[in-house]
Amino acid sequence: MASNLPSKIQCDVMISFNSKDLKFTQKIAEKIEEQGWTVWYTRPEMDPVEALSKKGEAILSCKMFVMIISKDSCKDSQFADELALAYISNSTIYPVSLEKFRDISPLLEGGMKLMLARINWTFFFKPEIYESSLQSLLTSMTENMSNLQPQLDPTQVSESGDINFHGMNVSINFDTNDENNYHEDDIGGEDEEGMTEHRRPIRPLQTRQTGLKYDFWDRNFDNKSEVPWVEFKRKFETDYHDKIVKQYSEDRFKFFVNLIYKDIFNLQKTVKKSQFEAFCEGNPDADMHRFYNRLQAYATGYHAMVEVFNMSSSLRLTTIQNLGNFSFPAVVQGLSKMLKDADPNIRAVATIALAKSAKNKKATVDRIMGMLDDEDRLVRESACLALGYLKPGTKAEEVVADKWRNDPIKHVREAAEVALKRMGGDHAAKCMQVTKVLASEMEFLKQPES
């Protein structure tokens, strides 16, 4: 379910599509609206610039995210960005494919495959199945809408400071992991010609329908309370390497192992059963593959968050702006990294978003103060306004006052003056008093001699 972000755009359903699939999108949107739900998608009459600025808000605020998958949309990098943003917003995702799965699967980039791996698809690849597929889709959406729980405050985090995506707490470290640029094998099998129901391209491994809690640890380590990491890794490779490589790729297997070592076991050379059980959160369904299924869900959330902070499409600027509404540690970390982005527009927006997200954390204030020396005047303006918003104290007042006095760009000096007025500290008050005195003296000097 989507986060309850402050937004001008509030919708039940957001539809993502390629412009070449507009007619189908309009047809589906009309049917969804007939259910009494508000639908947002980029309509032909919308101003392109305005539509782009609102798209990110719509994705973040929607309850259900419908993505129209076609050979054209798979070629669009923004399509993957929108999916990642919907995933981290905890919206319920509905992939709607205009092609057979065997035809569309080779066109999906690796991250999209992972994010869509455990989600039901609906297919509309021939006219004969349109009505039955539509009914299946609407029935599923209706059930989902009736089961939605009250939305959570987006600033809430788990006790560990992680972000919760679809029931899984995910911890992201942007400094030690870069899981981009990998290639994956195709997933899934063949479509049936008459398929009208939802399809799940990759299912979780089958659970064991008994009362025994016989999982990865029990079958490999029996009653041991801890084992060396190298032994745990070797057993995991024995059990799951071939499956992961078949469904994803060798690189994806390495990515999974890296997440286990870094995120789940905190780089410890000895793996404790208590850590393992904490990650699994028990095994109420006696699932033989509870650990792997949890790991797959964790990896999906991790990838989605990294994808959002590495967007290359035009959606990126709007997304960064909206992420300022989150105070999750991973968001703060990602925004901090963006302060070094090559694009000054990204640096400027990230500066403001970071101030909103991280509030008065000392490290955040120091980073934003550093942006006052940026070569781009818009970034310096943003830094002044961000510090005015934070009101962090005397040191910040002094550096902003320096910009107010000495920056060569008028707009930066004006932004610094606005910030000083908001700060309201002793140093800021002195600066404002100087401004008043100078203004008074200048007004006096302008008066004609009597």
User: Around Cβ 266, how many Cβ atoms within 10 Å?
Assistant: 9
CB 335 within 8 A of CB 203: no
Beta bridge partners of residue 40, listed in sequence order:
14
Per residue in 407-422, pLDDT (tens digit) is 999 899 888 888 888 8
CATH number listed for the domain at residues 13-163:
3.40.50.10140
pLDDT of residue 276: 92
pLDDT of residue 223: 86
**pLDDT over threshold 60, residue 161:** no
Measured between alpha carbons, how far is 202 from 129 in angstroms, rounded to an integer? 23
Per residue in 228-271, pLDDT (tens digit) is 999 999 999 999 999 888 877 888 899 899 889 888 888 899 99
pLDDT of residue 251: 85
**What CA–CA distances, in Å, run from 283 to 86, 222, 448?**
28, 16, 87
Degrees (nearest 5) of the Cα angle 393, 398, 400? Answer: 95
**pLDDT over threshold 50, residue 3:** no
Q: Start-end ranges of CATH 1.25.10.10 in the chain?
A: 339-446
Q: Start-end ranges of CATH 3.40.50.10140 in the chain?
A: 13-163
CATH number listed for the domain at residues 339-446:
1.25.10.10
> Mean pLDDT highest for which of 120-124, 170-174, 189-193, 423-427?
120-124
Residues in the chain: 450
Confidence bin at 405 (pLDDT 50/70/90): confident
pTM of model > 0.75: no
Per residue in 9-60, pLDDT (tens digit) is 678 999 999 999 999 999 999 999 999 999 999 999 998 878 877 888 888 8
CB 288 within 8 A of CB 205: yes
Per residue in 379-395, pLDDT (tens digit) is 999 999 999 888 887 78
pLDDT of residue 75: 84
Per residue in 269-325, pLDDT (tens digit) is 999 999 998 888 877 777 888 899 888 878 877 777 677 666 665 666 666 766 666
Widest pairwise Cα distance in the chain: 102
Per residue in 120-158, pLDDT (tens digit) is 899 999 999 999 999 999 999 999 888 875 444 443 444
The mean of the pLDDT values for the chain is 78
